Amino acid sequence: MAHTLRDDAWLHDHPQARADDLMQAFLNPEIKAIISTIGGNDSIRLLPYLDLDVMRDNPKIFMGYSDTAISHMAGFTAGLVSFYGPAIMAGFGENGGLFAYMVDSVCRTLFSSVPIGPILPNEDGWTVELLDWADADKQSQKRRLNPCGRWRFLQGRGVHRGPLIGGCFNVLDWLRGSNFWPDLGARRGAILFLETDEDAPPPKVFKYGLRTYAALGILQQLSGIFFGRPGPDPQTISQYDDVLRLVVAEEEGLMDLTIITQMDFGHTDPMFVLPYGVQAEINCGSRQLTILENAVVD
């Protein structure tokens, strides 16, 4: 786009130019998909310059994660199905080749108009290892993998359905009080997916945020909660599970709200793709997650 290769300092000073690039990408009929280069920490500065009518009237694939959750919420407000999934540098630019788990999810979600179907846990190992992209010698070096455990069904029973909505926990919080904060009252029964970034907030900060969700009446309206595997310290993973149990079950008494944790999306690789607003089903008995609808059309 027109400003893609401008230097960082210039782009920081001109958020409208970045928004203009995005709007032009939506308007260009030759562009079929828009994929974030990487995340960041200031996409919220683009919001005043986004045209929701343009996004609604020119639907196309839009994918990214982390800070891109801001743009996803703009698209969601406009009525667009977008995709919480891999970015170009962090995802498609994987050292030593793409993860098969991610490739399968992208193909099933974006390259087929049939219902997406069951989403299975990754069994091949996961990573948050950081290899310097500027070091050419490391471009073919595969990152070290941690062994995968199964997703954890912390609580819940029966079968539950609802539209998918969520993003990076840290980033979503910036939208509270704005017109882009998701109206879950209008999406009663939604399945909320959350994950944390590489600056993962301590479990106690996550606890405070969940208490805010409870005070806003959000937790009480959900059909389920998905929580991505938090990084970068594997030793703290169970502490986030403990916080979810504490706030949801013990403090709020929501014993039947289904919670699945240590899932394969967000800031650990590989990840599967979550389409916003698309219906998903959780079967607690068989411990199976299924996306019931297609997310693209031919």
| pLDDT given for residue 182 in this prediction | 79
Q: Please, which residues have CB within 8 angstroms of residue 13's CB and are 6 or more apart in sequence?
A: none
Cα–Cα distance for residue pair 247/154, rounded to 1 Å? 13
- What string of H, E and C letters represents the secondary structure of the chain? CCCCCCCHHHHHHCHHHHHHHHHHHHHCCCCCEEECCCCCCCHHHHHHHCCHHHHHHCCCEEEECHHHHHHHHHHHHHCCCCEECCECCCECCCCCCCCHHHHHHHHHHHCCCCCCEEECCCCCCEECCCCCCCCHHHCCCCCCCECCCCCEEEECCCEEEEEEEEEEHHHHHHHCCCCCCCCCCCCCCCEEEEECCCCCCCHHHHHHHHHHHHHCCCHHHCCEEEEECCCCCHHHHHHHHHHHHHHHHHHCCCCCCEEEEEECCCCCECCCCEECCCEEEEECCCCEEEECCCCCCC
Contact (Cβ atoms closer than 8 angstroms) between residue 157 and residue 189: no
Intervals of the chain under pLDDT 70: 184-186, 232-234
Would you say residue 251 lies in a domain?
yes
Structural domain boundaries enclosing 238: 8-291
Would you say residue 2 lies in a domain?
no
**CATH code of the domain containing 67:** 3.50.30.60
And the tokens for 128?
């948050």
Instruction: Kindly give the pairing relationship between strand 152-155 and strand 258-263.
Output: antiparallel
Would you say residue 1 lies in a domain?
no
Contact (Cβ atoms closer than 8 angstroms) between residue 37 and residue 88: yes
Exposed, middle or buried: residue 179 (CB in 10 Å: 0-12, 13-18, 19+)? exposed
Of the candidates 209, 210, 205, 194, the one whose C-alpha atom is nearest the C-alpha of residue 267 is 194
Would you say residue 229 lies in a domain?
yes
| pLDDT given for residue 201 in this prediction | 86
Would you say residue 296 lies in a domain?
no
| pLDDT given for residue 282 in this prediction | 98
| pLDDT given for residue 232 in this prediction | 64
Q: What is the pLDDT of residues 48-86, one digit of tens each?
A: 999 999 999 999 999 999 999 999 999 999 999 999 999
Alpha carbons within 13 angstroms on the beta-carbon side of residue 168 total: 27
Amino acid type, 182: P
Exposed, middle or buried: residue 98 (CB in 10 Å: 0-12, 13-18, 19+)? middle
Cα–Cα distance for residue pair 267/196, rounded to 1 Å? 7
> How many domains are there within the chain?
1
Would you say residue 297 lies in a domain?
no
Q: What is the pLDDT of residues 109-150, one digit of tens each?
A: 999 999 999 999 999 999 999 898 888 888 889 999 999 888
| pLDDT given for residue 185 in this prediction | 63
| pLDDT given for residue 215 in this prediction | 94
Would you say residue 203 lies in a domain?
yes
| pLDDT given for residue 204 in this prediction | 93
- Beta-bridge partners for 153: 260
Would you say residue 213 lies in a domain?
yes
